[in-house]
């Protein structure tokens, strides 16, 4: 048994994480993951644009 799988209770952290993820998937469905993925991608896009603006190298597209 590897050190990361030393059991203090009835399951490992890996098992608990997998079970929690499966529960969220079952309760909320794949649309939930698609939505939060899209939101995250939009936020990254905004942060990149803000970084470009701060460096003075980027310009926001107007009218697009």
DSSP letter, residue 64:
-
Max Cα separation, the chain? 61
User: Which pair of structure tokens corresponds to residue 32?
Assistant: 């939930």
Q: Distance (Å, rounded) from C-alpha 51 to C-alpha 48?
A: 5
pLDDT in tens, 8-60: 679 999 999 999 999 999 999 989 999 999 999 999 999 999 999 999 865 55
59: DSSP letter: -
pLDDT of residue 9: 72
Locate 30 and state its tokens: 């794949």
């Amino acid at each position: 048994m590897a050190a990361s799988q030393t059991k203090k209770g009835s399951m490992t952290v890996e098992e608990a994480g997998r079970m929690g993820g499966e529960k969220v998937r079952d309760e909320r469905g794949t649309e939930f993951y698609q939505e939060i993925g899209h939101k995250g991608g939009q936020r990254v896009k905004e942060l990149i644009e803000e970084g470009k603006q701060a460096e003075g190298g980027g310009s926001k597209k107007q009218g697009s």
